[in-house]
Copies of this chain bind each other. A is one copy, B any other.
């Protein structure tokens, strides 16, 4: 199998909390992440495929960049994702749920059957990866 991976960065604020819980319960479960804070996220989007026999590319990275910018960066960068991004009104914006949300958006915008993996670093030490449902 052959994959191509594009890395992009963006900066958001969020907090991890469950709306039905009070502050104390949220702090017990999420610790200091229950307070509003933020991260420089590093996102890796991997596509699988065969290289085009003429160009040698699985996908033109210029096209992939445009799709990632439109679907992810424009949607989420420099925002408070706990308040301003629709999906995270009902789902906690953990690094796991961010991966799944990114997959869902990119899956629809990319050619069929090429999205292979979403990898997302919240910090250098916390990362999630998702290869689809």
Interface residues, chain A, with chain B CB atoms under 8 Å away? 1-9, 11-14, 16, 18, 29-33, 35-40, 44, 46, 51, 54-58, 60-62, 77-80, 91-97, 99-100, 123-132
Closest 10 CB pairs of A and B: A38-B38, A13-B13, A56-B92, A13-B38, A56-B94, A32-B78, A37-B78, A7-B125, A56-B97, A5-B127
Contact of A7 among B8, B31, B100, B127 (CB under 8 A): B127
Contact sample, A vs B, 14 pairs, CB 8 Å cutoff: A2-B129, A2-B130, A3-B129, A4-B96, A6-B126, A9-B124, A13-B37, A35-B79, A39-B40, A40-B123, A44-B127, A57-B92, A58-B96, A58-B128
Known: A11-B123, A39-B11, A129-B3. A16 touches B56 (CB 8 A): yes
Bound together, the chains give a CA A58 to CA B57 distance in angstroms of 33
Let me know if B128 and A31 touch, CB within 8 A: no
Residues on B with beta carbons closer than 8 Å to the beta carbon of A33: 78
Let me know if B129 and A5 touch, CB within 8 A: yes
- 8 additional A-B pairs beyond A2-B131, A37-B78, beta carbons within 8 Å, are A2-B100, A2-B129, A3-B129, A4-B95, A5-B126, A5-B127, A9-B123, A51-B96
